[in-house]
Amino acid sequence: MLACVICGEEILLEEDMKTHLLLSHLENDMHCPLCSLSGVSYDELCFHISSAHPEKQHNSQDLAHFTSSPSCSVSTNAGVTESERPQTSQSCSVGDSCTTAAGATPSTSSGVSTDSVRPKQNSTHKRGRSSPEKLFSCPMCALVCSSCFILQEHVELHLEEQRSAEGSLLEVCSSALTSPSASCHSGEKIFECPMCSVVCSDSFSLQEHVELHLDPETVTAVSPGSDLKLARQLQQEEELRRREKDAQKEREEFKKLQRQFGLDGRGGYSKQMERIMERSVARGLMTPAEFHCKRAEMMESLVSGIDDGRTRTQGVTRALCEYYQAESRDCIHVWLSADTDHYCSSAGDKGWGCGYRNFQMLLSSLHRIDTYSPSLTEKTLPSIPRVQSMIEGAWKEGLDPQGASHFNWRLQGTRAWIGATEIYSLLTSLGIGARIIDFHRPTGPGDTHPQLFDWVKQYFCQSSRSGKLPPRLIQTSLPPLYLQHQGHSRSIVGLEQKKNGRMCLLILDPGSSMSDTRKLLSSDISTTIRHIRKFPCNLKHKQYQVVAVQGVLSAEAKQNSILNSQTLQAERIP
């Protein structure tokens, strides 16, 4: 009979004593040499090392050495002394040699088999338990522990390894950004994400992409759709930038249009006149005394509202009539409007005042025609600022509200261009009937407008409806026609019809200088008349509008014209 030197239990056989020492004392004292885990069985320790410390494993011979180590042998002498008893808590320390490879089983060289020992442990253990122990499974691996405290230490090891893995990932990503072994494609260096299949063109883009993976606040950073979400976000930002760029371009284009049409708030006739005279003084072209004298005259004209006549040329139509009576035998018919004065642009309205000057030409003719003269209360020609005021008055009467809104209901003090609708509104407010004819597209070869010429011929022919053959020169009592196209307007004062059937318009241009116009009054008119002749090949704008005066309006007819101007539409030909 053998007695255990540790607990005193009596064992019959030596092999059973070895089993008793191994199971009851040696295994219960085992602990992990790589962490603080202790108090586990041999199998539990092996499984722990293989799962928690795979990189630190030893081979199976180390574990066999542990089970067969002389320091772990058990004396069979029943009379052993206290000093000869094995110190299992010290000599059997697992920290010396008790690590094993993953999945290794203890060596049987010591004569102790795991399969033969475990049943004896259940039958011979004097500390025996009255009921089976409660087991605790690791939530992160397959290890089963008999104590919750052991399980807690084991799980903490998993968490430490996870934090270490995250640190290693950061190092890998950092090295990927600067690694010289970055992939190259077609001679260009590219950078691959170490966490997904995204390829970036430079290190900065790769760094931003990797940070999206590692950002804990980005919930979808590790999801398969994270790149798609990023792409959509970038697309939305690009769309926003494009819209802002388009809006900025639209604002700039609108400002250009405002400057072009004189709606940029930089002043009107008087301010432009002053600036030009100041530049003339600075260049030495005008003395300061002349400047103050002309400025005073301009202010006086503005106060009176009467044009000073400095840009007027009288007698142009009479000069044309005399010319056709004596010359131009190649024409079979010539029609001329009523006597009309020419008004050219001045320094105060240069670049934008053509519409106002054409109205002055038309009004100068109406004053000479008996049909219209009695209806005109003002017998003088208004200045350009006065014409602006008259158009504003027409708007206040209710004429052309859409056109008025385009100018924000204000013309005075601006350099705003006016067109056919403003001339129509102004004539209607004066009690003069008018119509707008729109030649909205070319009707002839080479973008010409032969129908415009035909219509002008019909307009002048209305004065000679008799069945007799009209004379070669016809001096009518009709006012001139206001001709508008994109960017400019002129006045039609006559029409030529050649022997070959070709027609030619006679046009006075407010852009022509006073000196050029006065050449028509000279005896050498034949060399200068070509400047006012316009054949179909000379009128090739996309669209033309004509304003024609058509009788005097009664009070009722004027009111109807005002109501119709709410939706003002031109007569379209064709």
Of 436, 409, 411, which is closest to residue 546 (Cα–Cα)?
436
Judge contact between 305 and 298, C-beta under 8 A.
no
Q: State the DSSP H helix or E strand holding residue 429, giving kind and residue range, or none if neither.
A: helix 420-429
Tell me the one-letter amino acid at 152: Q
62 among known catalytic residues? no
User: SS3 string of 91-110?
Assistant: HCCHHHHCCCCCCCCCCCCC
Cα 492 to Cα 460: distance, rounded to the nearest angstrom: 11
Number of alpha helices (DSSP H) and beta strands (DSSP E) in the chain: 19, 19
What is the secondary structure of 229-264 as a DSSP string? HHHHHHHHHHHHHHHHHHHHHHHHHHHHHHHHTT-S
Of 514, 529, 480, which is closest to residue 312 (Cα–Cα)?
514
How far apart, in Å, are the Cα atoms of 278 and each of 38, 262, 349, 447?
A: 103, 21, 16, 44
186: left (phi over 0), alpha (psi -120 to 50) or beta: left
DSSP SS3 for 455: helix
**In this structure, what DSSP letter does residue 29 have?**
G
35 among known catalytic residues? no
Cα 40 to Cα 395: distance, rounded to the nearest angstrom: 103
Report the 10 Å Cβ neighbour count for 144.
13
Judge contact between 313 and 344, C-beta under 8 A.
yes
| Alpha-helix residue ranges (DSSP H) falling in 191-338 | 203-214, 226-260, 269-282, 288-304, 316-326
**Catalytic residue of the set 307, 349, 400, 509:** 509
Backbone phi and psi for residue 369, each to the nearest 5 degrees, phi listed first:
-100, 125
**Catalytic residue of the set 331, 344, 354, 504:** 354
354 among known catalytic residues? yes
Cα 344 to Cα 351: distance, rounded to the nearest angstrom: 11
- Both tokens of 171, joined, read 């190092």
Alpha carbon 562 to chain centroid, angstroms: 43
**In this structure, what DSSP letter does residue 306 have?**
B
Cα 281 to Cα 519: distance, rounded to the nearest angstrom: 30
Cα 395 to Cα 404: distance, rounded to the nearest angstrom: 6
Cα 133 to Cα 155: distance, rounded to the nearest angstrom: 20
The number of residues in the chain equals 574
Judge contact between 321 and 336, C-beta under 8 A.
yes
Judge contact between 327 and 311, C-beta under 8 A.
no
**Catalytic residue of the set 58, 158, 488, 541:** 488
Residue for token digits 């040499």?
A: 33
**In this structure, what DSSP letter does residue 382 have?**
B
- Both tokens of 415, joined, read 């350099």
Judge contact between 40 and 48, C-beta under 8 A.
yes
Could you give the residue numbers annotated as active site? 354, 488, 509
